[in-house]
Chain A
Amino acid sequence: MSIQLNVNGQDETIDSATDTPLLYVLRNDLRLNGAKFGCGLGQCGACTVIADDQPIFSCVTPIMMLEGRKIRTLESLGTEEHPGPLQQAFIDEQAAQCGYCIPGMMMRAQALLERNPKATEAEIRVALEPNLCRCGTHMRIIRAVLRAVDAMAGA
């Protein structure tokens, strides 16, 4: 059984069971490393991607629910050679320790900034509540998102 998915602007034909969570399709079939497996339960946010304009837990969202929706992953934000503003902000703030949670944080922040380009620190903290970081990089993550707010406003 195959399903059509639109990922980072590309149409993809996926030959997997329709109840397969999106995360495994992104990571294995499409070889996209951004979304991470953290809990498989929708509790930690490491797998966060954007569907249309909403952040979703890709680890608990079956691909059958995503046909016709535009899925975006970390890879849509830019490249190592040409990082996007949010990526550059995380680099500038050195906002990572082990870095495993960071792509999920970034995609949730990206969804916030698209919805609310002038997000305040308080709004950023509330928006990131579903995502866990174990290294204690929170202060830098908040600073990086605030830096991206400024960068995007100036752009």
Chain B
Amino acid sequence: MDELREPRAITRRQLLAGTGAFIVSFSLLGMARGQETPPAAVMPAPAPASPSALPGDLNIDPMLDSWIAIDADNQVTVFTGKAELGQGVKTAILQCAAEELKIDPLTIKLITADTVLSPNEGYTAGSMSMSMSGTAVRNAAAQVRELLIAKAATQLKADPTTLTAQGGQIVGGPQSLTYGALVTGETLHVNAQPTSKLTPTADFTVMGTSLPRVDIPGIVTGAVTYVQDLRPDGMLHGRVVRPPSYTATLADADTASIEKMPGVVKVIRDGSYLAVIAQQEWQAIVAMRTLARSAKWKEQASLPDEAHLPEALKALAVEDGTVADSNTTPTGVVQTFDASYTRPYQMHGSIGPSCALGQLGSDGVTTIYTHTQGVYPDHAAIAQMLGVDQTKVHCIHMQGSGCYGHNQADDAAADAALMARAVPGKPVRVQFMREQEHAWEPYGPGMVTHFTGGVDANGKIAQWDYELWSNSHNSRPGPPGALLSARYLATPFPQDPQVFSITPTGSGDRNSDPLGYSLPQKHVIWHFIKDQPLRQSALRSLGAFFNLFSMESSVDEMARLAGVDPVDFRLTQAADPRGAEVIRRAASSFDWAGWTPVPGRGRGFAFARYENHASYLAIAVEIAVNTDTGTVRLVRANAAIDSGEIVNPNGIRNQTEGGILQSMSWTLYEAVTFDRTRITSIDWQTYPILRFGGVPDSIEVDIVPQPGQPFLGAGEAAQGPTSAAIANAIRDAIGVRLYDLPLTADKVKAALLSVPAVD
């Protein structure tokens, strides 16, 4: 078990005591917060408490020692409730702490999401890790530094303005004191203040630099990095046998003969939940397959008709809500554009199927290593599923394959808990199979939109009417019914019904309020779909991806109606100078003005401010169309992003490049397929995604410096604009607008055959 933390719930106090720590009464507070606060179960994500509140997530945990600890040996430990998802957040948080504490980032010990040790920062989602946790850590670190300077001034009888923090010491002339010597008792157990003495951008030595990711050397050499790499002594291997379809119920299964198979330790049958636990992994897989073959299920056709998915979705709308309304009527409209757009269900498609490791200790605590985005919500949901107190479930985040939202990480954690309960004392590693990950993950929901707009005689947008049909894009835990297996137990936990809510951040309606442009009239309606015919939840950027595909495609058509260049059209109506700046930069980087039309090639542009309050991103793309096959290839992409103060430029660039390529894959290739009973996208043949043959020649990302501005986050800004830019480029190349995702070769070819090129 050397790579694991103690299987029993340890406290932060014990952790630090083990390293010779000074620490203090705080930890008890931390325990109370972490383990006895049921609202964690229902909080989708923490939000600032009030406008006058503390910076970032200091609001949810204002004690400085919840974020920063310094022991007598001068070891600095930083705590974040956020998780490393491959977005580089560990490295960026270390940079924030190191900059303000004036120490080497590589000397800091970092504890990430853990229901015993870390602050409860809800989910690692919504591109909010830096704006919430990065901001909290940075401010806490700055305030700790100033506390240490003040304390040193007292001890040294010096003027605090003559003292500086450097390399773990407070220095004043020939005198110095280490941080470790200054921190005693409850020194850091104090409330954070609303304002901090932050290091100015001009003085940065760690922030603003491309510090290499701390985890990449381990990744490229085979170090223990992922949950999948855990293998404590005596570990058993767990596999589930899923029903063949969502509503199937188990009629019969030959568990007795499976239990006699080589290596099989346990077969679990609980209602319609089936699982096997074996000594070796291959034995578990063989037993899983044999059990699956023996199982008899009662199935029913409960899925919509995939061939008419848009109509089926629209028929499910139960309630309308107004997202935005200027309360004005369109005036001066001289030309109009009217279109409907559709999006199928699309997958997270993690390369590594979900995995978790669970162990039920003799103290009744189930410890779970999980790559979930939300350890706190998970431990609450799992405790409810198991029927135990929350103090009896300890969830610890460990990296997994990229998730891009709510995939099956939480489900694997729940299965690890169920299997650990069946073999007390034994660690069990649960690994989902590829077909299980594909068929059972909660997809990005299918959506339909409708746009009616118009331009006036001055070539400006005069009318903007937009409707969307969508679920809420969130069915995460808290409630135990959000955990897949919990729904199939003999005493099942049904899934909570979807709740309709229109918020500034948005869900299905994310980015549907066209705040990026100054408009005289707008009217935006969300037709809320409550039923979930396919399992669905949060996929990177939620509704923003498809709303922006629809909206920025429509903006392009209105520019055509107005006879104005699409970049100029956007620039002249951009509502915000920072928006205009990324538009200018992306166009310049692409050399939009120098474009010469080439047959079979097209260019497209799109822009948005993610969530209407986070990063600004504009993108110009060039595509090539093979007119014989209809195949579209992204040739190059030039993006500009403003995500506020820059912590790690290479990290922002990496996230943006990745977002562009992933969005391109969603846009050109991806749709979940199903018949009336079963999901039929069960592997990479039946759900194709981007391969190297489709990779562009180049992607350029220009990052706008914003010294002193708040962090805006970068993880999801590219998803929406990329999709529309590609659609606009196809329109430019072939003279036909495509409205229905994905924009496959078949659809492009059909468009080429149906309509002669007009441009």
Contacts and interface: CB of A to CB of B under 8 A. Distances in A.
B434 A136 contact: no
| B contact patch SS | loop
Contact of B281 (A24, A101, A137): A24
Given A38-B352, A134-B349, A96 B219 contact: yes
A99 interface: yes
Interface residues of A, number: 57
Contacts of B452: none
Contacts of A103: 219-220, 222
A78 B221 contact: yes
B204 interface: no
A98 B398 CA distance: 12
A17 B684 contact: no
A33 B658 contact: no
Contacts of B85: 98
Interface in B63-117: 85-88
A136 B662 contact: yes
A120 interface: no
B401 interface: yes
A132 interface: yes
B282 A24 contact: yes
A39 interface: yes
A117 to B, nearest CB: 20
| A contact patch SS | loop
Nearest to B347: A134
A2 interface: no
A48 to B, nearest CB: 12
Interface in A98-129: 98-103, 106, 125-126, 128-129
Most buried by B among A38, A44, A100: A100
Contacts of A74: 220-222
A41 interface: yes
Contacts of B86: 96-100, 135
A37 B433 CA distance: 9
A83 interface: yes
A98 B402 contact: yes
B280 interface: yes
B222 A139 contact: no
A22 to B, nearest CB: 11
A17 B692 contact: no
A16 interface: yes
Given A24-B281, A91-B216, A99-B215, 6 more contacts: A17-B282, A27-B281, A33-B225, A106-B220, A137-B654, A138-B690
18 contacts: A19-B282, A20-B280, A24-B282, A31-B231, A41-B684, A74-B222, A80-B221, A90-B216, A97-B86, A98-B86, A98-B400, A98-B401, A135-B402, A136-B661, A138-B695, A139-B661, A140-B657, A142-B695
The 6 closest A-B pairs by CB, nearest first: A98-B86, A136-B661, A98-B402, A136-B658, A99-B219, A100-B401
